[in-house]
Structure 1
Amino acid sequence: MRIWAVIVAAVLALAGPGMAVTGPESAPVYVMRHLDTPEGQRDPDLTERGQKGRRALAEWFQGKPLSVIYVSNFRRTRQTISALNGERQIRLRLYDPADTPALVARVKAETGPVLIVGHSNTVPDIVEQLGGERPAALTHPDFGDVWTIDGRTTRRDRLTY
């Protein structure tokens, strides 16, 4: 086992600060709830504030590699990533928000950084099942947080918009 630790350390040292070494243990997974929507509608569009948040999300991801984005088949999740994806043309994958274990299995099989855009009732489970610290339950006004899970830590950032 020690030889593998030496090999991994050597690869990381050779990669340098400008190169990413990806894999299930090193590639971050970003999890967020879709951006602002009106309350009480089944499949609403983003509000005007949510539309502004799309640009903030694209700016937040500047300089961060991203291989794939998982979205549910709701307008609000696809609209949330439209500015980011419009700039970068990242692969989109649909997932069933009622099947978090299947989503987590798919994400764990990815080899690069992943963004998951979920919902208030799915984000805490997704973060926890990916090995992160479970966030508190989300309420309707809880928009604009991004959890980063990198295998060692969970960090929560708030988009400014």
Structure 2
Amino acid sequence: MSTPEAKLAGLGHELAAFPARPGPLEMVVVHGGLAWVSGQPPAKDGKIVYKGPVGAAVSIEDARSAAQLCVVNALGALSAALGSLSTVERIVKVVGFVSCEPGFSRQSDVINAASDLLVGVFGDAGKHARSAIGVASLPADMSVEIELVAAVRREAG
């Protein structure tokens, strides 16, 4: 049976090293069998890849790529906290924020790319409750930000 990491690689994505950050923010908090992953940016090598509002500065297709990159970063944080994605029983909830201008209504189309990737990695255990929310702006001018909650087999960390 293939690991979630192998499935992710088979889908063309690679987990990056995820260093701990100093300060009051935890990238992942594990409590009561749930792992809460802080909002993750569409960043690669420490730099935001997709900037600006979706539908204006960023195309829908690029925003979908941004959503996938956010999920890859969320899974990287989760893997760093748990030691392996194999301890994930299920993805419970995904919240996707899409920076957009008034009148933009395709937030779900953007965040669907993240949801599809999670199902590709975890199968039925990747199906989740979800919110796709349009916002006026996001930190560092990122186009998309995603946070998630996962059920885990053991208390880690």
TM-score range, shorter chain: 0.3 to 0.5
Q: Relative CO higher for 1 or 2, CA cutoff 8 Å, sep ≥ 6?
A: 2
TM-score (norm 1): 0.35
TM-score (norm 2): 0.36
Which structure shows the bigger proportion of residues in strand conformation? 2
> Greater CA radius of gyration, 1 or 2?
1
